[in-house]
Structure 1
Amino acid sequence: MKLIIRFFSFLFCLQSFAQPISNQEKITKYLNDYFSQDREIIHVQFNKNLFINNEDIAFKGYVLSKNNNIPNSNTANIQLVVYNEEEQIVLKQLLFAQNGLFSGGIHLTEKFKPGKYHFHFYTNWMNNFREDDSFNQTIEIIDKNSPYTFQVNEPNWKTAEITLFPEGGIILNGIVNMIGIKITDCNKVGIEISDGIVLDSKSNEITHFRTNQMGNGAFYLKADLNEKYTIKINNEKLKVTQPLGKISETGLILSAPNNPGRSNLLVILKTNEKGLQSYQNKKFTVLIQQNGSSMQQEVTFNNNKTEQPFYFDKKYLSNGVNTIRVLDEDLNEITERLTYIEEGKNPSTTLDTKIVSNDSITLSGKTDVNKAHLSISVLPEKSMFLNQKKTISGTFYLNAYLEKPQSDTYFYFDPENKTRRQDIELLLLNQNKGKYLWENIKSGPPKISFEFEKGVTINGKVEKELKPNSQNKISLIALKNNLFDQTTIDQNNDFKFEHFFVQDSTVLALQMTNEKNVTQTTKIEARIARNEPRFVLGPSFEKAFCPITKSADNVFNFQPPKAKATELKEVAIKNNFKKEVFTHKDDMSPMARAFKFDGKEYGTVLNFLSSNGYNTGINQTDFSVYIKERRGAYLGESASSPNVYIDNFLLFDFNQLFNLTLDQIDEIYIDQTGSSDTSTTGHGTIKIFMKTGQKNDYFKVKFTTLIVTKGFAQNFTYKTAPLENQDEFNYFGTLGWFPNIEPNDQSDYQIKIPKNQQKEIQVVIEGFTNDGQLISEVKKVPIGGIF
């Protein structure tokens, strides 16, 4: 009995000495838990935003770790889904990212009809979180066969809408309130005005306001509960009268007059005389945070003052948008406010003309940071379609923390915009809330249900029954990519290659070997296993909610293509005919057609056969290569296939021909009569003889081949499209796209562009460094004195 009493006495002592968890500790734990898993965010630079339907669309992607603010080296699989204006999927690609970088593009074809297209980039890992860190970009494709009408750079004044954003979400009686105002048209395009006023019930002007070109502004008002206020705009283009709205008897207002020149951020918690009585002896916590980084201060109104000011040292705050929250004693959010921190100098680049030759210009660039990764788009001086709206700084510093991302962020980072810091603060004032909701943060850490994808998986099964404890293995070889891997076979005859990085259309060979590495003959089934994950939150389409105004007086007519003809004044005909010697002609029937190749030919063997009497392609059911007699094409699937030989070895698997190119071939013989072949199978005979040194042993062994169809997009090589005249080029052309610029140890780099009668060029430079510094500039580089 004494033992029991002593035990409970011990528990009581422990309880008496236990310290309750403070609110500050709870807040810190909420933040640490919610942001414990690293999040990635994507920015993509396009070479421009409008394309003719015979051009290449090119892009470069950057992936940043939000927790560490450096390139995310863990990211590998980037999903791209392209939608048309009807929000139908027209294209999917899997893009390969390495060290936080990826690039790609699309060669436009007739598949892409004129109109707007939405490009959506995301990762499977992003699906674990409630906040959208994917990237959306809308581009437009136009048809050269139709006139192009230029868009008017004017908002739709008739649909102007005014929205108010008072600090703290309320207009408080008896004190001076700062009220944000935003004016936009039906397509959310900002409207700039300079003559807005606020009137009282007697039509006296109380205050006035203006908005910037993004439609953001603010004004101060000492509100009177017994007064009715009206907002009025009256000019040539806009006439609006709107009541101010409800005035609250009491409440809390959070103000953050951010002075960029000061090292401390001033934050003021305000109330009125009535609120002062209500909030006596109540404790509030003011929290400022970005992701898991935070600072806190406890506030009370016990000094009988309606304004409680305090300071946060900016050197401890993260660059970009920070959220300031006011929490009550139960850690419920009362109000929030966004502010912007920018400490340190933004990296910059220089770019000048270095060398001018007859047909090209070499530009020399230099960065003021080390280990930078850049992408550069160069457009003509008069180009109307420079993609300077979405910038890497805007994506990672602004949109990463806004509930509704801004489609045009360059305005806020343009070094020529002398008021850009004030413009950022006006933007943040005119937000209802940030991307990260406090209730979500309090609810606990995200449930991780989606894996961090790296590469693709190749699953398969062997048909041959294996002995217990068999040491047989499956070898995987990419015939033309120098790839080799091996894996074991389990007790169910299954095998798997995980995290395999392979591009679409790659031909893979699979064969089974025993413990002595001797090839074993067996049937092997294999496939690419990839889920092609959808984005749980869905893409955020940039829509036009009302017709975009275009100018009937500003129409561009493309010139029809010129017929290419050459006038021959003098032609000297010289007989250089050299009789070709066919090495294997005696092996064939006289009915066979013989073809000799000198190693300079381009194209594939399958395309060559398509031009010489056969239909070739890939079956959509099993993704195998087929070769069928064209004369029997009306028979469909039952059309006959020829016997195909490589160096006199009969092929049982036409997949081996998929990547075989003509520069590897010495001779090809085609006998559609079949008289060159003693075999009774097949219809016709095709014999292919490799060049000396091109013979490969893999044609002589029995293995299974697989053509990759769900792998990474193939490497993209950008090419400029031809245009008919200089005017077309000046408005719609591209001088150069350089997605992979990496300055040397001295931070220097060079690019070369065609001359093309330009006196000045427009250059867009985007990028980041290994330590997460962002580079985003638009430059106009003179090429004067050259012409």
Structure 2
Amino acid sequence: MKKTTFFLLCLITTLPFISFGQTQTTIEDEYYSYFKLPREGLFLHLNKTTYFKGEEIWFKGYAYDQRNQLASKGTTNIKVGIYDDEGNQVKKGLYAAQNGVTYGNFAVDSIFSAGTYYIKAETNWMKNFKENDAFIQKIEILTDTQTTDNTKGEVAKYDFQFLPEGGHLVANTLSNIGFKVIDNNGKGVIASGVVYDSNKKEVASFKSNALGMGKFLLQPQKNTKYTAEITLKNDSTITTKLPEIKTQGISLMLQNSLDDKVILDFSTNEETLKNNAEKAYKILIHQSGKLKIATLQFSDVKKAVSIQRNQLFKGINIITVFDENKKPILERIFFNDDGIKSSKINVTKLNNVKDSIILSVNELQLNENANVSISILPEETEAYHPKHSIISAFYLKPHAKGFIENPKYYFENMDKKKKYELDILLLTQGWSRYDWKDIFSKKPLTTHRFENGITISGRVNRPASGVEQLFLHATKNHPAKFIDLDENQSFKLTNFFLEKEEEIRFSYINDKGALKKPSMYLRFLISNEEDKLSESYLNETKKIQSVTSNFNIPKDFFYENAEALDTVLLKAEKKKETPKFNNLFMNNPSVTEITLEEYSRYINIVQYLNFNGFNASEDMGRVFITSRIPKAGEPAVFFNDVRLRNFDILYNMSLAEIERIVTDRYSVIPTMQQQTTGVIKIYSRQTPLFKKSGNTAVYLSAQSPETFETGKKYYAPKYASYLNPIFQKYGTVSWLPMVELNTKDATVFKIYDTYTKNITLFIEGISESGQLISERKTIQIR
């Protein structure tokens, strides 16, 4: 047996180089083809999951590259929506992610009534896949309207399932049989039981953990039927049959408790050996498009395979065994913690300053920078019940199918007990969520594009010809620039980000150098259509009792219910705003606002520059500008902060088209060729120089039908009293969505002092190398 184990160990350690005859390529290619398209996951960290009307639902979104196990920096367009208990969309927004993260909020306003809602996050790209990777979290809304509990009076029902390791029982092979018992709310129930054979002889016994799951050993015999008698925690009993026993086949028992390796114990029976003496099986160990392959042949009824953990994939691994006909005959999911580093967050109170508390937070174990979000609630909170942590959302959710009660539990303070319970969970999961029938036949197609910002296409209709460039005016997220047009006077912009109610503006420059308003056709390509939650998901959660049942908000819990005071009006003269311009490269800028006086003094901009410190001339459509400093050459000239390659667009440009000119004769800009002395910055007119009736705009403006929401700065709700027990259970202290942790210094921040004795910080995030952070820290404030 030891020789066999050592031989197969060497076999596994060279997994990437093993051949499997003529059929290996087919299975491997089918698998790689199914996972060819990159898959992304999403996780929303909410500040809490139970809200009062008048509060805000604050969230931080994390995008994850499943194959590379890193923050997904390619994802930008994330759609976040709120849905009612029937799955109907209530609110929805489009949020831009940067470096894999975004944040935002929804107001709990008059649209909401007391009851259950859901918040969902997804991307357009996710729609290409059968496996739904959208993030959904149940939330509760509390109002002053009492709701009723519809679950009361229901008769308790229990579902008991036996799940053999690998998927089936084979006669005369020792097997692990997983089991789970759940009630009609989908929660695990403590149970114990006895297994009897056909002769009513006891052959095994079992007992579940607190989550209603467990396993036991059984060596089933051929032509024997087995029955289990289960005793529940209320002393009631149920009887059920074990799965059917196969006369031929192989079984698997996985040992996942050793620190450095995983052992696979394969078993078969004499009848299988006799009929398939030379039969070879293929073992695939895979995860999200990554694959290792080995062969398995039986010379005896047992084979043991030892695999070093550092040769496996980090996180979930799926073992699938195929027969010679490429048919998957067993599958086992297990978790490998090798390569997963645990974080260690330290939180310290530093000081009290007036009505605020100064806290510091740092990470002591990962030794790398991290981006985290922190929800701060009273220690006694009952308002925070997320289904997933960032760890369970990205390590477990993409691979497991079906409902899992409290998946984040398995990754909180993970010790040997938690690892054992996680292994039991994965054993009872059976096969992974990826169906091999789909892998062999239904490959994902890119029918839904990978959206990054808004795509804008357009065509200039008037003037009908002669326009080679458009001028795109600056927006909040994009600098001004010139856009080249094709022979049809058309263009296309990609990765454009327009915020709510923001306009995009275009101008063209005529042959006299004046900015003019074009007539254009514009098309905005972006998706954020209304949708609905699936019935299958709603059915999983509807039976779970809502915390809003029979709950009333106390009177005057918020300040908004208090007596209104008389208005005090303060008057002051409005301070004149200083003109804004980009002073990059400029040491001592001179700013000239173009008024009617300057317009009447100079024929055009070339004459203006000639009289204001530069040598400027124009001839036959060409413009020439040089510095008056000896041997200085041409200055750097910018038009709306876009540096000009040549100055010809300034030919005969009237000062009526210019709002402001900023010059600096002596600033030096180093370049690859030579130093440039002098800077000129010209800004096009946004307000009319002459008072005229009618439209005098020099640009065409348009709004996209869908734009990006902007995350607001967090503000605390106006609770009337922080000493009210309702605040301690359902109130919020603070929310910090964008906290950067570094390896050198602690990050210091302040929160409002709510006079709470102890506070709890719920921390979620990701490090720069993709290590996931999820911690809960309670500290004493006073």
- Normalising by structure 2, we get a TM-score of 0.75
The aligned counterpart of 2:744 is: 746
The aligned counterpart of 2:281 is: 284
Distance 1:776 1:291, change over 3 A: same
Distance in 2 (CA, whole Å) between partners of 1:67 and 1:564 is: 54
The aligned counterpart of 1:598 is: 574
Mapping of 1:19-58 within 5 angstroms?
22-58=22-58
Displacement of 1:481 in angstroms is 6.3
The aligned counterpart of 1:777 is: 775
Structure 1 window deviating more from structure 2 (385-394 vs 513-522): it is: 513-522
Match for residue 324 of structure 1 among 316, 319, 334: 319
Distance in 1 (CA, whole Å) between partners of 2:428 and 2:224 is: 24
Letter in 1 for 2:450: F
Unaligned runs of 5+ in 1: 1-18, 579-595, 602-646, 649-689
Displacement of 1:556 in angstroms is 5.5
Contact 1:47 / 1:387 at 8 angstroms: preserved in 2? no
Letter in 1 for 2:175: N
Structure 1 window deviating more from structure 2 (163-172 vs 231-240): it is: 231-240
Distance 1:534 1:52, change over 3 A: closer
Match for residue 250 of structure 1 among 243, 247, 251: 247
Letter in 2 for 1:54: G
Distance in 2 (CA, whole Å) between partners of 1:377 and 1:334 is: 46
Match for residue 699 of structure 1 among 687, 691, 694: 687
Secondary structure of the residue that 2:424 maps to in structure 1?
Answer: helix
Contact 1:156 / 1:185 at 8 angstroms: preserved in 2? no
Distance in 2 (CA, whole Å) between partners of 1:155 and 1:537 is: 28
The aligned counterpart of 1:313 is: 308
Distance 1:552 1:513, change over 3 A: closer
Letter in 2 for 1:334: I
Could you list the per-position Cα deviations for residues 89-128 of structure 1 after superposition, in whole angstroms to 9, with x for gaps in the alignment? Answer: 2222211111111111112211223222222222222233
Distance in 2 (CA, whole Å) between partners of 1:550 and 1:63 is: 29
Distance in 2 (CA, whole Å) between partners of 1:299 and 1:706 is: 65
Correspondence 1:191 to 2:184:
no
Distance in 2 (CA, whole Å) between partners of 1:34 and 1:228 is: 39
Could you list the per-position Cα deviations for residues 239-285 of structure 1 after superposition, in whole angstroms to 9, with x for gaps in the alignment? Answer: 23222234324133442433333322111222233323233211111
Distance in 1 (CA, whole Å) between partners of 2:349 and 2:512 is: 63
Distance 1:407 1:224, change over 3 A: closer
Secondary structure of the residue that 1:44 maps to in structure 2?
Answer: strand
Distance 1:280 1:712, change over 3 A: same
Distance 1:295 1:207, change over 3 A: same
Mapping of 1:407-556 within 5 angstroms?
408-415=406-413, 419-443=417-441, 446-467=444-465, 470-478=466-474, 483-514=479-510, 517-532=513-528, 541-543=537-539, 547-549=543-545
Displacement of 1:204 in angstroms is 4.9
Contact 2:189 / 2:232 at 8 angstroms: preserved in 1? no
Match for residue 338 of structure 2 among 336, 340, 343: 343
Distance in 2 (CA, whole Å) between partners of 1:323 and 1:479 is: 48
Contact 2:174 / 2:267 at 8 angstroms: preserved in 1? no
Contact 1:63 / 1:71 at 8 angstroms: preserved in 2? yes
Structure 1 window deviating more from structure 2 (254-263 vs 330-339): it is: 254-263
Letter in 1 for 2:454: V
Mapping of 1:639-678 within 5 angstroms?
none
- Normalising by structure 1, we get a TM-score of 0.75
Displacement of 1:705 in angstroms is 2.2
Distance 1:421 1:517, change over 3 A: farther
Displacement of 1:489 in angstroms is 4.0
Displacement of 1:409 in angstroms is 1.8
Distance 1:600 1:267, change over 3 A: farther
Displacement of 1:514 in angstroms is 3.6
Contact 2:194 / 2:228 at 8 angstroms: preserved in 1? yes
Could you list the per-position Cα deviations for residues 353-381 of structure 1 after superposition, in whole angstroms to 9, with x for gaps in the alignment? Answer: 22234432222211122120101111101
Distance in 2 (CA, whole Å) between partners of 1:361 and 1:121 is: 33
Distance in 2 (CA, whole Å) between partners of 1:321 and 1:256 is: 17
Distance in 1 (CA, whole Å) between partners of 2:476 and 2:257 is: 57
Mapping of 1:72-471 within 5 angstroms?
72-143=72-143, 145-147=144-146, 158-193=156-191, 195-200=192-197, 204-225=201-222, 227-235=224-232, 237=234, 239-301=236-298, 303=299, 305-344=300-339, 345-367=341-363, 368-369=365-366, 370-404=368-402, 406=404, 408-415=406-413, 419-443=417-441, 446-467=444-465, 470-471=466-467
Displacement of 1:431 in angstroms is 1.4
Displacement of 1:756 in angstroms is 1.8
Secondary structure of the residue that 2:255 maps to in structure 1?
Answer: coil
Distance 1:391 1:253, change over 3 A: farther
Secondary structure of the residue that 1:36 maps to in structure 2?
Answer: coil
Structure 1 window deviating more from structure 2 (181-190 vs 248-257): it is: 248-257
Correspondence 1:732 to 2:730:
yes
Contact 1:266 / 1:312 at 8 angstroms: preserved in 2? yes
Letter in 1 for 2:145: S
Could you list the per-position Cα deviations for residues 300-337 of structure 1 after superposition, in whole angstroms to 9, with x for gaps in the alignment? Answer: 22x2x222221222211111111111111122211111
Distance 1:749 1:545, change over 3 A: closer
Displacement of 1:86 in angstroms is 1.8
Displacement of 1:405 in angstroms is 5.8
Correspondence 1:720 to 2:716:
yes
Distance 1:225 1:502, change over 3 A: same
Distance 1:779 1:166, change over 3 A: same
Distance in 1 (CA, whole Å) between partners of 2:475 and 2:315 is: 49
Letter in 2 for 1:401: H
Aligned residues: 647
Structure 1 window deviating more from structure 2 (128-137 vs 96-105): it is: 128-137
Q: Structure 1 vs Structure 2: percent identity of aligned residues?
A: 27
Structure 1 window deviating more from structure 2 (31-40 vs 473-482): it is: 473-482
Distance 1:706 1:543, change over 3 A: same
Secondary structure of the residue that 1:384 maps to in structure 2?
Answer: coil
